[in-house]
Amino acid sequence: MKKIIGLFLLGTLLVSAQESSPFDNKKNEFRVDVLSAIAYGKLSFSYERFLGKDFSVGVNTNFSNSQKIEDDFNDGFRNNLPKYEINPYVRYALSKSKSRYYFAEIFASANGGDFKEIIRDTDSNGNGFYTIKKSKYTDFGLGGSLGYKMYFKESWALEFLVGFGSNLTKREQSPDVISRVGINLGYRF
């Protein structure tokens, strides 16, 4: 009996020792996406809350302000101009290490922007004419991502993320594909 109790206590101590890590008291993280800012002129911020051993939840928001995409929209090379995305997500760590690990996530997306189409209208003389009508769109989507995260000095995070999703309700107006691609720099506290 003493042996069993001894083993139990030893096991408990080992588990405690394994779970004790510099990240245990740091449950929050903010990140900014460097790649999106440089490549797409998109401001992208993320918050992540670490729940337990492997799971975390968070939200990513981004706002687009790309002159190239706007020019393409105005010149007729695309019919939508995405302006914002709000992407809540749930992550699962695939590796045991807390300082460097792969993760998988599923995300939802509420996104919107401008949409344009050509319509036939009638002028005051009763003649028809085609004109470009601009309006707003809002859509919702789901997707998944894979990523790799590493920490430096137990607080600074570098995260690589690649993911895709699909808009679900207004695909004729919104982009078909939602992408979550980024190189994020973050701080965990």
Partner 1 sequence: MKTLKIITLLILFVTTFNSCDTNDDDFYNTEYISVPNLVSIQTQANYNVGDYLYVNSYINRLLAEPNQTNLLDIRKTTNNAPSFAFSYLLEKKVGDEWILVDASFPNIDLNLGKFITGGFYNATAEFNVANDRYEFLCGIKLPTSGQYRLSFGYNSSSTTQVEIRSNSSAESISLTIFSNVSNLDAEGYYNFTVN
Residues that bind partner 1 (CB under 8 A): 35, 39-40, 69, 72, 74-80, 116-118, 120, 122-123, 125-132, 148, 160, 162, 164, 175-177, 179, 181, 183
Nearer of residues 28 and 97 to partner 1, judged by Cβ: 97
Give min distance, CB of 21 to partner 1, in A: 21
Give min distance, CB of 137 to partner 1, in A: 11
Q: Specify whether the CB–CB gap between 119 and 146 falls below 8 A.
A: no
Nearer of residues 54 and 72 to partner 1, judged by Cβ: 72
SS3 labels along 17-36: HHHCCCCCCCCEEEEEEHHH
Pull the structure tokens for residue 155: 């607080």
User: How far is Cα 78 from Cα 18, in angstroms, rounded to an integer?
Assistant: 53
Q: Specify whether the CB–CB gap between 145 and 107 falls below 8 A.
A: yes
Nearer of residues 25 and 152 to partner 1, judged by Cβ: 152
Pull the structure tokens for residue 106: 């599923």
Give min distance, CB of 23 to partner 1, in A: 20
Give min distance, CB of 75 to partner 1, in A: 5
Nearer of residues 56 and 174 to partner 1, judged by Cβ: 174
Phi-psi region of 39 (alpha: psi -120 to 50; beta: other; left: phi over 0): alpha
Nearer of residues 14 and 94 to partner 1, judged by Cβ: 94
Give min distance, CB of 91 to partner 1, in A: 16
Residue 7, phi then psi, degrees to nearest 5: -65, -40
